[in-house]
Structure 1
Amino acid sequence: MSGYFMYRQMAPFGSSTLLTVDLGQQYVDFFAYFRHTLLAHPSGFFYTFQKALGGEMFGVWTYYLLSPFNLILLLFSDHNLPTAIFWLTVLKYGAAGLSFAWLLLKTKVQKHLPVLAFSTSYALMGWMIANQLNLMWLDAIIILPLIIWGVIRLIDTGKIRTYVGWLAALLIINYYMAFMVCLFTGLFFIWYWLSNSADFKAAVASLRRFVIGSLLAAGIAAITLLPTWYSLSISKTQYTQTDWSFKFEYFPPKMLAKFFLGSFNFNQMPKGTPNLFIGSLMVLGALFFFLQRNRKPLTRWVGLAITAILALSLCFEPLDLLWHGLQFPIWYPYRFSFVVSFWLVWLAANALQPEFVPKLWQLGAVTGICAVVVAYVWLNLKQFSFLDQSQMLIGTLLLVAATCLIALPDKRPWFYQLAFVCFVIIEMSSNAATSLNRISYVTEPEYQNYQRVLATQSNRVTSADHGWYRMTPTFMRTKNDPLSGQFNGGSVFSSTLEKSMPTFMGDVGEPDGDGFVTYTNGTLLTDSLLNMRYIMNQQTTGGELSNPDINSVSTRADLVDYKPIRKDGLITTYRNPYALPVGFLANSQILSLENTTKDPTQYQANLWAALTGNARDRHLFSAQNFDRVVFDNVRQQTKLTGAILQKTNLIKPGNITFYFTPKTNDAFYLTLGSNLIDSNVSISLNGRPLAQYPTYRNTIVVNIADHQKGQQVKLQLHLKKSTLWLQNFTLYQLNNQQFKAGQQKLAAHPMTVTHHSQSRITGKIKVNQASATLMTTIPYAKGWHVTVDGKTVQPKRVAGIFTALKLGRGTHTIRFSYWPPLLNLGILISVLSLMICSAYIYWHRRHQA
């Protein structure tokens, strides 16, 4: 793989990188956070305000970052993370092959040169090629053979140490893939246990050891499993699938096409069939395993049953759902198919022994099966976008050549073994190159130029202002920019994002989804409430982006209300004079606020009114009419909001242009329903493309004018399809003066932060009345421990997401400190499990002696 990557000029050997899809849009920023936390800011290990508005990080560590290979990242700067990722990827490929080779050698299933063939097939299997970008999953491929070696040792010798140690390690490193490995390990144990138990007593003893070993491994890993369980309970498990049916997800024989060379392309990532490619020799070897009469019938029949279960899991919805922890995956389907590839390669390694010479009937049976598969795939070739006729021809020829290689009578000479290895290496390498050539990658300059701009701008702010605040850019490379740029922001993309975060952000008009939020659509009100003290904005010229490496995703005409404090080339940084502190006294109405509207501007106003206690603030935003609307090749409508626009002539472009002239210098905002996304319509403002994050599932708020009294504003919609639903398309005017009055009232009683880190905040506040409510924009979480003047208090959840306290008269010292729920219990269970495991191993040794 190193040679292929060098040929593709991947950094450090060229200007390309391995960054693509989630690796380039998500994981690389987590790797930057990994470096920052271990090298400079350890307080962010359990919690950070760089994750959206703030969030726990234990789930992030246990899913993305606990691989020991990640220590390599500490040797590289943020600027050179693409090079670090190259070495991570190459080393994990190598480690996967090494671990499988170790299994074959320790079990004596194979020896000498052929070991290289089987380990290469395992390391370069189709699943590995398709998922090399999901670096955090690859440790499971490395550790699986070691766990299986532990199972074999447990049954053969009664020793549990290897099994317990490696299973515990995988449970700690990546609980998600470990779950799939645990299911497969149970199946493998059944097969090997039934095949090798000498008598009933020995079988019972092996079963007892397996159960005890599994429980001890889980107990040892409790230090991460229990806090992770809590993390998942407030994030990913909130989306657990409850609507499923007993059905096949596709016609099962379609998966057979994945055994042909190059059976992967980009379209297979979001929704495809399982990645099963393991090479011709391995497929044939697995088939021959079931035809070898020198094996126990029980071994073959149980093996066949397990193969059937695995095959059924690859197409039958309930089993597929089970393997994925009752959650259908978003992108990368059939993530567990690596265990199927392991199983098939393992069967092939057992079958293709040097002394094995297939009989004529065996050759006929296998040839017949292959002929049927080839015929089916060839006749249905148009259904497989990843295959063409040349691939089919090559795949068929490889099957023929592999059959001839296996049929040779004498397999012991070194030149036969060398040919066997070379055949596998050539085929597996060809599949990797064919598949990966279809994937595009981020170039190193694209990554480094943006990273340099973001780091420079954020560092200039944070080095000058050491207080507690949030900041946001109007441009974005990824939703995890705050993690790589090291600033408290409002955006994130993480599978372990607390569900309350996208719920709140969607309610106030920000783009959100299951696992992501982006703070790209702020208003004067939300900027103030969320303490967005600084905004970094890229200037545009002539409607085009000034820097191709910087993608503007936000339109903020209301930045004229803020003070520009620095201009570095194309980037201007603004200070928000209306940013409220992280904590301030508010009206007690906030404690009982519930969201009863789907209109984000109304919810913002209701939230503000509950904080100020002023009922008039519920009308901060008022709906406005456009002065004039021009329809071009679009059927005219009298009522715009909710209207369905239709082109008059389907061939010609369809446009609708809105004009209005503000009569005040207030800020004007436009709401856009989830149907008005980039794939349906393009929007221009005053002749320039409207900078906006392209996808959203709830109604968003877009700022289109501010301080433009008497200046005509032109908004144009360009239909991309024959019809367009103007969902929640409404113009609103914010009462700037009333907003400022409310802001001054809330800012009059701040909590002054005296010390802060990512997981601790200490502040002082003076309360003049007998009872008051301290409102904070710290996201509520059970892990927050709060004291007032040294006494523990129970915080309250407000607006479904934030933390508030009830305070009495006087000057108070408030301390917030975060500690992951269930971590102490996990530590206790892990320590006890280690002690029990050590005692068991000691007892077993004494008993054997």
Structure 2
Amino acid sequence: MNATLSETTASGKPGKKGCGRLVLLLSFCIPMLLLAVGFVLQQVHPFGDRQILVTDFWHQYYPFLRLLHEKLRSGGSLLYTWDSGMGTNFLSIFAYYAASPLNLLTVLVPESILREAVTVVLLLKIGCAGLFFALFLRGTFRRDDFSICLFAVMYALCSYILGYYWNIIWMDTVALLPLVVLGLVYLVRDGKYRLYVVALGLSLFTNFYIGMFTCIFAVIAYVCLCVFYLKPAQLPGRTIAMLLGSLLGGALAAIVLLPAYYALQLTYSVNNIFPTTVQFYESWRTLAADLISFHEPTAKDGLPNLACGVLSLALMGPFLRSASIRIREKVGAILVLAFLLISCNCNVLNYIWHGFHFPNMLPYRFSFLFSFVLLTVGYRAFLAALEEKFKVWDILAMLVMAVLVFAVSYNVQENQAVYWSVAVMLLYAVILLLFFREIFGKKLLYLSLSIVLAFEMFQNVKLGTETVSTSDYLSYPTQHEEVESLLAQIREQDDSLFYRTELSSWYTLNDPALYGYHGLSQFSSTANESVTKWMRAIGVPASEAGNRYYYGGGTPVSNAFSGIRYLISRSGSVLDLQEWQQLASEGACYSYQNQYDLPVGFWTAASLQDYAAAPDGNPFDNQNTLFRLATGVETPLFTRMEVDSVLYEGADATKNGYGSYTYQADAGAETRKLQYNYKLPVDGTLYGYMSLPNGSSISVLRNDSFAGSYNNGNQGYIFPMGTFSGSETASVSVSLPADSVTGTAMVYVYQLNLAALEEGYAKLQSGGIQITEFTDTKLSGSLTASQDGLCYFSIPYEEGWQAEVDGVKTAITPIGNAMIAVPVTAGTHTISLHYCPKGFAVGACATTGAVLLLIVLAVIEHKRGKPFLQPVAAQQNVKEIIHNDAEDTET
């Protein structure tokens, strides 16, 4: 064993603490610095007018982080929020999107610089990935020199992180993986369980989804460690300790795990079908070619992100060649790497890894495990070769790996990436050869390796940040000052304890969370499927598979049953002036008040409980049914309009039934447009519905003149067209995209029966609830019912809600399995709703109990002066632990 390894003690404590601290500091700072330089090159604010918010970070993560920031600074409850989805379980959102302890740092800054703070938090997470991997190498191999920094940087800047860093919610658990495995090493080798328990609990707490991958990998790692370290007689005790430690780690995170579990049972993602046949996605050569550097990582869809620096690839040759590495280590490493690689290419294993679910975008979300194993194997080979002064066979093995990389990757991966990767591998081999020939000392060895690695990592960072891209800083969120001013004016004029507001057209799919108002829209992996179906049934743009529903305009019925009192338009006046009365304006933004507003709770007929949402049906028919059952008004609220004429440009369409058309576009046409014209028999207000995937914006015309437009989106929805006289022609027009050849369009136009609306609205308004108390988790008020019926609440239903009527606990009657209603008798009543997420109480008790148990165990161990478990080889030399003897090598 060389001098450096001899400096470590049998207990594994480094011999030079100052050097070790510097190495850990560099492992933390270097990845952060390189990624920060990448952001500067991308002109990320304050070094330009760009920001790192893209895709779901833009639509989901930042709005939810802003919501968390607001709650932390105002002291709001983390259990529920009214600023998303008409009200939703915030603890489940927190568990999935915002549970990183580093997010607590954002409470120190105002919202005006929250995006910059989030960028810094991301950099800190990347730094932690490097630091924790360095700690893993130091604790596992009892090494404390600069070599651990080299491999730590490669882990923190592997292609998985560089491709998916925008998915900021995953980075904590990816960073914590090395600590979880180090905890397993301590448990198996040294009988110390505490790090494993705490690291696993923190991993599950910060993101239970990626934490699931860590749990699966922990089982694999445990088996390998037992093979490497334990004798058969020691296996039962260690296995029991591992199982109990895993349960204790899960209990530490139970305060978020249990509520999140119950919330996920309400989502669409629980409905998946196990693959019936085994299939492979890519050729094995294609996967192998993805291991090299200097190419774009997968940022949304594509191959698994496996690359983690070509030094780890080059060292696979010395790893397999080295006589000082036991056969069991080589076989174990190859089997684990092979299993992870096969998992990335086999549909069945991919399905199982993702929790019996095929993910939407961001494929192979567990591929960071492959990088972790490959870098660990590479470091093991580096140490073995370093101890033997890099024999000539190690250099030859590295050259063989370079040849193999070229042969596998050439004309499969980008050839420029192949050339650079092979060149860097050869540089590494030359540097190690110079060390082998004693031309380089150890300091010069590490300096040379660092220079080459810095070049490689910087190029990968540059490619990664370019691939992930950025978004405009100044326009996010769009017209924020104007909208904020209008929201402030609404708050000043309305002293009600509770009301809802919405934007006439969406910017993100989480505008209420982004702008800070009680609203309807929500795009979340924890979205309640039953509520999404309810929304889609009444013509709100929604998708169960897409985990989203969001505001698109609506009708007096959908707005009333959603509790929308105010509307803000960022693009001029709205078309439906029958329903909306203008209040104020700021620049191009206008605020409106609903003339048919209903409070969050109001009396309805008992027959409303018979309503069954039909999301695949005609939304106007669904609204007619909902209104009739709620009010008892038999006159249809909406009457369909027949098409008077059509105008097709660059396309033709065949009518399949009312509102259903199959179109065929002309491939050579410059303009492709479908237009449907309607003539009113009498003056009236019209509402349209269009479902045309991938279409452009919807235009509403009045006598062939443009009146207004709406986002088309991928989900069909109802939109206001305005009030027309009997002499006018109303038209709905949509342009087809250039790549659309054929498809199906659904186009409905219905006229509102104003007399029926007024009659029904008067009945519902008379039984509106007067809110007397409102918090994040409680709503109380008084209601006067003219007759027996229901108090309907425009609040999504889930089991966490409990109701009291006149102080007596009352069973909730879910409407359409989606919205809350409480039975009431004729007369005046006080109604209270209380919320606590299902599983929270049990989870909180489990977490508290786990913390107390850890404290008690620590006190007992302190008094005993030794751990409960006996170390595997307390008196063995490090060399005897991590190396084989001659007899074992022969075996």
CA distance in 2, matches of 1:312, 1:723: 38
Asked if the contact 2:42/2:470 (under 8 Å) is kept, the reply is no
Equivalence for 1:384: none
Question: What secondary structure is seen at the aligned counterpart in 1 of 2:290?
Answer: helix
Pick from 282, 286, 295 the counterpart of residue 325 of structure 2.
295
Identity of aligned residues (%): 23
- Displacement of 1:782: 0.8
Q: Which amino acid aligns with 2:486?
A: Q
CA distance in 2, matches of 1:631, 1:767: 53
Asked if the contact 1:226/1:823 (under 8 Å) is kept, the reply is yes
Please tell me whether residue 598 in structure 1 is matched to residue 624 in structure 2.
Answer: no
Equivalence for 2:720: 703
CA distance in 1, matches of 2:650, 2:360: 39
Please tell me whether residue 133 in structure 1 is matched to residue 166 in structure 2.
Answer: yes
- Displacement of 1:688: 4.1
Which deviates more from structure 2 when the two are superposed, residues 52-61 or residues 244-253?
A: 244-253
Asked if the contact 2:650/2:669 (under 8 Å) is kept, the reply is no
- Displacement of 1:573: 0.8
Asked if the contact 2:477/2:514 (under 8 Å) is kept, the reply is no
Which deviates more from structure 2 when the two are superposed, residues 27-36 or residues 279-288?
A: 279-288
CA distance in 2, matches of 1:314, 1:648: 41
CA distance in 1, matches of 2:650, 2:443: 76
Equivalence for 1:735: 753
Which deviates more from structure 2 when the two are superposed, residues 833-842 or residues 315-324?
A: 833-842
Question: What secondary structure is seen at the aligned counterpart in 2 of 1:39?
Answer: helix
CA distance in 2, matches of 1:676, 1:843: 64
Equivalence for 1:250: 282
- Displacement of 1:36: 1.0
Q: How does 1:151-162 map to 2 (within 5 A)?
A: 151-162=184-195
Equivalence for 1:394: 420
Q: Deviations over 1:294-317 (max 9, x none)?
A: 122112212221121111111111
Pick from 83, 87, 90 the counterpart of residue 116 of structure 2.
83
Q: Deviations over 1:93-120 (max 9, x none)?
A: 2121111122222334543222221111
Pick from 212, 225, 231 the counterpart of residue 263 of structure 2.
231
Asked if the contact 1:109/1:350 (under 8 Å) is kept, the reply is no
- Displacement of 1:708: 4.2
Asked if the contact 2:534/2:613 (under 8 Å) is kept, the reply is no
Equivalence for 1:566: 584
Pick from 839, 850, 861 the counterpart of residue 833 of structure 1.
850
CA distance in 2, matches of 1:324, 1:638: 42
- Displacement of 1:648: 6.2
Q: Which amino acid aligns with 2:631?
A: T
- Displacement of 1:508: 1.2
Equivalence for 1:52: 85
Pick from 760, 763, 779 the counterpart of residue 761 of structure 1.
779
- Displacement of 1:42: 0.8
CA separation of 1:186/1:287 partners in 2, compared to 1, >3 Å: closer, same or farther?
farther
Pick from 814, 826, 831 the counterpart of residue 797 of structure 1.
814
CA separation of 1:140/1:453 partners in 2, compared to 1, >3 Å: closer, same or farther?
same
Please tell me whether residue 583 in structure 1 is matched to residue 601 in structure 2.
Answer: yes
Pick from 328, 335, 341 the counterpart of residue 311 of structure 1.
341
Q: How does 1:629-648 map to 2 (within 5 A)?
A: 629-635=646-652, 641-647=659-665
Q: Deviations over 1:219-278 (max 9, x none)?
A: 22222211111111112543444345322122232122322223325xx33321111121
Question: What secondary structure is seen at the aligned counterpart in 2 of 1:91?
Answer: helix
CA separation of 1:289/1:450 partners in 2, compared to 1, >3 Å: closer, same or farther?
farther
Please tell me whether residue 614 in structure 1 is matched to residue 633 in structure 2.
Answer: yes
- Displacement of 1:288: 2.6
Asked if the contact 1:587/1:612 (under 8 Å) is kept, the reply is yes
Please tell me whether residue 123 in structure 1 is matched to residue 142 in structure 2.
Answer: no
Equivalence for 1:744: 762
Question: What secondary structure is seen at the aligned counterpart in 1 of 2:410?
Answer: helix
Q: Which amino acid aligns with 1:257?
A: A
Which deviates more from structure 2 when the two are superposed, residues 637-646 or residues 113-122?
A: 637-646
CA distance in 2, matches of 1:139, 1:216: 20
CA separation of 1:66/1:715 partners in 2, compared to 1, >3 Å: closer, same or farther?
closer
Pick from 21, 38, 42 the counterpart of residue 4 of structure 1.
38
Asked if the contact 1:289/1:348 (under 8 Å) is kept, the reply is yes
Asked if the contact 1:93/1:123 (under 8 Å) is kept, the reply is yes
CA separation of 1:565/1:364 partners in 2, compared to 1, >3 Å: closer, same or farther?
same
Pick from 423, 432, 438 the counterpart of residue 467 of structure 2.
438
CA separation of 1:667/1:269 partners in 2, compared to 1, >3 Å: closer, same or farther?
farther
CA distance in 2, matches of 1:574, 1:191: 65
Equivalence for 1:479: 509
CA distance in 2, matches of 1:46, 1:605: 35
Question: What secondary structure is seen at the aligned counterpart in 1 of 2:321?
Answer: coil
Asked if the contact 2:173/2:210 (under 8 Å) is kept, the reply is yes
- Displacement of 1:709: 4.2
Asked if the contact 2:813/2:821 (under 8 Å) is kept, the reply is yes
Superposition TM-score, scaled by structure 1 size: 0.91
Equivalence for 2:313: 283
CA distance in 2, matches of 1:255, 1:450: 45
CA distance in 1, matches of 2:60, 2:54: 10
Asked if the contact 2:538/2:623 (under 8 Å) is kept, the reply is yes
Equivalence for 1:163: 196
Q: Deviations over 1:435-467 (max 9, x none)?
A: 322343122211155333332322321233232
Question: What secondary structure is seen at the aligned counterpart in 1 of 2:50?
Answer: coil
Pick from 529, 532, 535 the counterpart of residue 567 of structure 2.
535
Q: Deviations over 1:460-519 (max 9, x none)?
A: 212332322211111332111101222111111111111112211111112212211111
Asked if the contact 1:530/1:579 (under 8 Å) is kept, the reply is no
CA distance in 2, matches of 1:227, 1:732: 42
Question: What secondary structure is seen at the aligned counterpart in 2 of 1:653?
Answer: coil
Equivalence for 2:236: 204
Question: What secondary structure is seen at the aligned counterpart in 2 of 1:212?
Answer: helix
- Displacement of 1:561: 3.2
Structure 1: which 5+ residue stretches go unaligned? 382-386, 541-554
Asked if the contact 1:113/1:421 (under 8 Å) is kept, the reply is no
Pick from 54, 69, 76 the counterpart of residue 42 of structure 1.
76
Asked if the contact 1:661/1:710 (under 8 Å) is kept, the reply is yes
Asked if the contact 1:118/1:345 (under 8 Å) is kept, the reply is yes
Q: Deviations over 1:137-176 (max 9, x none)?
A: 1111221121122111111221111111111111122111
Structure 2: which 5+ residue stretches go unaligned? 1-34, 867-891
Question: What secondary structure is seen at the aligned counterpart in 2 of 1:706?
Answer: strand
Q: Which amino acid aligns with 2:365?
A: R
Q: Deviations over 1:56-84 (max 9, x none)?
A: 11111111111111122212332322211
- Displacement of 1:814: 0.7
Q: How does 1:62-461 map to 2 (within 5 A)?
A: 62-197=95-230, 199-235=231-267, 237-243=269-275, 245-264=277-296, 268-353=298-383, 354-359=386-391, 363-381=395-413, 387=414, 389-408=415-434, 409=436, 410=438, 412-447=441-476, 450-461=479-490
Asked if the contact 2:166/2:468 (under 8 Å) is kept, the reply is no
Asked if the contact 2:813/2:820 (under 8 Å) is kept, the reply is yes
CA separation of 1:730/1:449 partners in 2, compared to 1, >3 Å: closer, same or farther?
closer
CA distance in 1, matches of 2:396, 2:760: 85
CA distance in 2, matches of 1:772, 1:531: 19
CA distance in 2, matches of 1:739, 1:129: 55
Q: Which amino acid aligns with 1:395?
A: S
Asked if the contact 1:682/1:719 (under 8 Å) is kept, the reply is no
- Displacement of 1:738: 1.2
Q: Which amino acid aligns with 1:278?
A: C
Which deviates more from structure 2 when the two are superposed, residues 425-434 or residues 600-609?
A: 425-434
CA separation of 1:344/1:687 partners in 2, compared to 1, >3 Å: closer, same or farther?
farther
- Displacement of 1:615: 2.5
CA separation of 1:621/1:570 partners in 2, compared to 1, >3 Å: closer, same or farther?
same
Asked if the contact 2:483/2:568 (under 8 Å) is kept, the reply is no
Q: Which amino acid aligns with 1:394?
A: W
